[in-house]
Amino acid sequence: MAFNILIVDDSPVMRKVINRTVNLSGIEVGNIVEAGNGKDGLEKLEENWVDLILTDINMPVMNGIQFIESLKTDEVMKSIPVIVISTEGRDTVVQQALSLGAADYITKPFQPEEIGQDILKILGYDVEE
């Protein structure tokens, strides 16, 4: 089964890095949709169903926290797992994202294997710890 993924990050370079990491993670990837901020991400979700969302926190227009809050109030979209990938590593922000329903929080810089392992685990694959 191929999985569709939404990557939300205001940096085109980081979106490309994450896209490549996802493609090398070992899961079968269907469609990868990209958005430059949370508002754009919500709009993309109206047009594309995804199985997983990878989002940054610090973005213009609508940041990652606001994006997660909006997702979790929508009856359909609230079930989509969200992994935060951000340079923002303050405990208060990490805890806020997790309490809003993020499945995991990874701080940049990251190891590509870390994202791959998280994606596999969250999508239900058996992963060796």
Give me the number of domains the chain comprises: 1
Q: Which domain holds residue 15?
A: 3-122
What per-residue confidence (pLDDT) applies to 128? 57
The CATH number assigned to the domain holding 11 equals 3.40.50.2300
Q: What is the pLDDT of residues 29-59, one digit of tens each?
A: 899 999 999 999 999 999 999 999 999 999 9
Ranges of the chain with pLDDT below 70 = 126-129
Residues ≥6 apart with Cβ < 8 Å to 121: 127
What per-residue confidence (pLDDT) applies to 110? 80
CB 84 within 8 A of CB 106: yes
In a domain, 78, yes or no: yes
